[in-house]
Structure 1
Amino acid sequence: MWYGFIDAQRRLARTIAGERPGNDIEAVPMQIPGTNLGDVAKAFSHWLLRSACAYGEPPPFGIRSVTSGGSRIEIEESVVDSLPVGALRKFTRKRMAAKTGVKWPIMLCAPLAGHHAVMLRETVETLLEERDVFVSDWADARDVPPDAGPLSLDDYVLALERFISTARAHGPPVHVVAVCQATVPALAAAALLTSVLAVPLASISLLGGPIDSRINPTRIDRFATSHTLEWFRDQVIDVVPPPYRGAGRRVYPGFIQQSAMLAAHPERHVRLEAAYWSNWLAGDMRAAAEALRSLNEYAAVLDMAESYFLDILRVVFQEHRLPRNAWSVQGRHVELNALSRTPLCTVEGELDDITGAGQTHCAHTLCGASSPPRDRQMTVPTCNHYDLFTGSRWREAVHPALCRFWREVEDAASSMPVRQHTDRPTRSRRHA
């Protein structure tokens, strides 16, 4: 077991870098040093902390304003619901349009795949240009006491069901957007929720997710199916040590996920590092600050509970329960046909080597759509997995397409009365 040894290294890195409890990590990206010897040491400390994943807390979203229509709009962030598995954050645009022009909000389902939700900070900022945004912000399993339960995949599906219901209770219908691994539990949660509501969700958008990983399997898919759950349990599961609140919990550690990401996509990390150092050396402190912020977010890994990690492998990659119509969540069958009347948009990247071609688009067929409109089944050219929600492809291709989709949905519903629902779905005692 390596967790205790790695954690000791992290603590040593924090000591060397001078991070102390209570440090304002939010201010770090804006404190880019100059080029004297002391500033070089400070730049090195930033590098050491992120390389060792040694930050005591993840970076905050820190979104105070966005630009929309040439104007700055202040953003207010709040936590509107919470569970042991995580919190539901709401980002509210403080300058509101006329009541008739208010756009329905977004419920962004962040993936639980070894990263904190702050990795989607750029995604949230872009969405806030037009709409309020809710985000599922998952907890680090090392900080969740064992008596909170196993934190299984079922727990996360039920959490999303509750979070979506909470978001709907705050006002207009919500457009659900799920990224990467979150597409599977989000689609299941939407199906469970829609089956008990008279009015469906505004829409669902799935970005690069393994809805059916049997279709054009990638290297990751093949690795997941070529090893048993016992192999994963023996090789990558460790125990959280004291003094963390989750001491004793068995987890898939974040430091293993970081190594896996670097091995699978070294070019992304190298590109981010190069952007930071080249701008720093050139004296472009604004560009260096943005690059450092992205690096900190990319290094914000978390531990996943053993139960959730093995459930994902079993349900999604080995048994394919969702596409086989064979998945039940705490005794409730996930019936995707319940979403047959809910507008659905799927987006894939042409160069995505994490989610194979067709794995996300198949959701249309599974949800009962006979022939989805062409613009609701979008494959983005020269787009890899991360480009689906960050960078120029996200801003210039994916986001505009989603905005068109949402406008079409809202225009179609504009002549129909919208009933507000405040009732929440039945949930397990653990979520009470």
Structure 2
Amino acid sequence: MFYQLYEMNHAAVAPLRAAADAMRFFYRNPLNPLSYTEFGRTVSAGLELFERVTRRYGKPEFGLPVTTVDGRTVDVTEEIVWAKPFCNLLHFRRDLPAGRAPDQRILIVAPMSGHYATLLRGTVEALLPHAEVYITDWIDARMVPLTEGRFDLDDYIDYVIDMLHAVGPGAHVVGVCQPSVPVLAAVAVMESQRDSMLPASMTLMGGPIDTRINPTAVNKLAEEHSIEWFRDNVIMNVPWPHAGFMRRVYPGFLQLSGFMSMNLDRHVSAHKEFFEHLVKNDGESAEKHRDFYDEYLAVMDLTEEFYLQTVETVFIRHSLPKGEMMHRTVRVDTKAIRNVALLTIEGENDDISGLGQTKAAQTICSNIPDEMRLHYMQPDVGHYGVFNGSRFRREIAPRIVDFTRQHARTVTKKTPVKRVIKGGKAD
């Protein structure tokens, strides 16, 4: 019922939003003398702020038409190379000269935690000059009809393995935040099954591998409540007229509310400063605010089964670091990983995945040779700065590129191993 109420409120405000938008254009019109006065700019700023805080933000575009390779600007084409009901695999195909030696292939597994994959636009942009980049483009659960079936954490792991098969042998996989756990599980499953499409390396960034270490507010919330509490309080039915009508989901707006409440003062200050920038006619600063919040406020729903299984497995039971995590009927054995290089990256001020939680992967993957492992802690960045921003571009991205090049694997043509999962799905 709460989701339906949310939709009704959004619809009820729509006429006011339309009126505010029209009035804003009136006060910003260069033919209107008031647009050159502080009064006109103040009214216009207030109307834009109202329109933005009541808007439902749609899925943003990646918007990466070009990149620079070998000092030359080349065109980039976004293409879907693999698709299933809950995810598309995007490839950013670069228009490279014929005969040029191929670069490393990097699969970025984006978080399925409320935001769209475009949150990693900066990650993709920084890696594009150096690699063939692929990224998981997760689909909003409210847009997936019930007829497409369920999607849980086990399906997520299967999707990651299937996408590594689609990218091909010797690729590199990067798990950003939430996907660190299923990526590590997928690699462990592939290694134990002697999968010929095993990646050459995996990079885990700001992920909740072991949330018992330096628990954050997010971790403590999960520990303080039972899985039944989450099922009763945050799971809702998708309302009509969305394609996923009646699908049980964890709504994206609830996730966004939780994230914003953790730093509410900062978000309030940001919107106050945005208003002041508009009044002062500081267009550049105002545009930076728009760009950030157009991305940050665009959210998607998660399926009930994926959300609850993730909460229980990762945040309540701590199954992966305890060696108790199951993928369908098979135990996930991280000690089986011997042939995949491991890079873990953390932010010093991360308030989502506490310092040490990602580094725990180095401990539980005890059979990876020392020369194939590396940990890096980036000073002075929070969670977002681990995969985006100036320090990411300057300090972190070069380390990822160097690590993948250092551990590149010579690829020989092999027939892909057919995966068979007892008691589960066969792919």
Distance change in 2, residues 1:45/1:76 (3 Å) = farther
Aligned to 2:172: 175
- Are 1:91 and 1:134, in contact at CA under 8 Å, matched by a contact in 2? yes
Report the alpha carbon displacement of residue 269 of structure 1 after superposing the two structures with TM: 3.8
Q: Is the 8 A contact 1:33 1:40 kept in 2?
A: no
**8 Å contact kept, 2:206–2:345:** yes
Q: Point out the structure with max Rg over C-alpha.
A: 2
- Mean Cα displacement is larger for which, 76-85 or 265-274? 265-274
Aligned residue runs from structure 1 range 93-172, under 5 A: 93-96=94-97, 98-100=99-101, 102-168=102-168
> What SS class does the counterpart of residue 382 from structure 2 fall into?
coil
Q: Conserved in 2, the CA contact under 8 Å of 1:33 and 1:42? A: no
1:418 alignment partner in structure 2: 412
In 2 relative to 1, CA 420–39 (structure 1 residues): closer, same or farther, beyond 3 Å?
A: farther
Which segment drifts farther, 33-42 or 376-385? 33-42
Q: Is contact 2:142-2:301 (8 Å) kept? A: yes
Give the partner amino acid of 1:362.
Answer: A
User: Measured at CA, do residues 291 and 64 of structure 1 come closer, stay the same or move farther in structure 2, by a change above 3 Å?
Assistant: farther
The answer for the alignment partner of 1:27 in structure 2 is none
Q: Residue 379 of structure 1: CA displacement?
A: 0.9
Identity of matched residues, % = 33
**SS where residue 321 of structure 2 aligns?**
coil
Other-structure match for 2:25: none
What TM-score do the two structures reach when normalised by structure 1? 0.85
Q: Supply the AA of the counterpart residue of 1:7.
A: E
How many angstroms does 1:63 deviate by? 1.6
Q: Tell me if structure 1 keeps the 8 A contact 2:249–2:302.
A: yes
Are 2:56 and 1:54 aligned? yes
Q: What is the RMSD of the two structures over their aligned residues, measured on CA atoms?
A: 3.1
Task: Work out the CA distance in 2 between the residues paired with 1:268 and 1:275.
Answer: 10
Contact map agreement 1:50 1:299 (CA 8 A) in 2:
no
Aligned residue number for residue 238 of structure 1: 236
The whole-number CA distance in structure 1 between the counterparts of 2:97 and 2:29 is: 38
User: Is 1:80 the equivalent of 2:74?
Assistant: no
The separation in 1 between residues aligned to 2:367 and 2:275, in whole angstroms, is 49
Pairing 1:154-233 to 2, within 5 Å after superposition: 154-168=154-168, 173-194=170-191, 195-198=193-196, 200-233=198-231
Residue 192 of structure 1 aligns to a residue in which SS? helix
- Range moving further from structure 2, 68-77 or 417-426: 417-426
* 1:281-316 deviation per Cα after TM superposition (whole angstroms, max 9, x unaligned): 565656644542322111111111111111111100
Counterparts of 1:332 and 1:375 in 2: how far apart (Å)?
Answer: 26
- Secondary structure in 2 matching 1:91: strand
Q: State how far apart, in whole Å, the 2-side matches of 1:91 and 1:212 are.
A: 32
- Secondary structure of 2:299 counterpart: coil
Task: Flag structure 1 segments of 5+ consecutive residues without an equivalent.
Answer: 20-31
Query: How far 1:333 moved relative to its partner?
Result: 2.6
- Displacement of 1:342: 0.6
Q: Is residue 359 of structure 2 the alignment partner of residue 358 of structure 1? A: no
The 5 A counterparts of 1:4-83 are 4-18=4-18, 36=35, 47-48=49-50, 50-52=52-54, 54-55=56-57, 57-68=58-69, 70-83=71-84
Q: Is the 8 A contact 2:67 2:75 kept in 1?
A: yes
Deviation at 1:262, TM superposition (A): 0.8
Number of matched pairs: 411
> How big is each residue's C-alpha offset from its partner over 1:196-225, in whole Å with a ceiling of 9 and x where there is no partner?
413631210000101111122222212111
For the residue of structure 2 that corresponds to 1:215, the secondary structure is coil
Unmatched segments (≥5 aa) in structure 2: 20-27
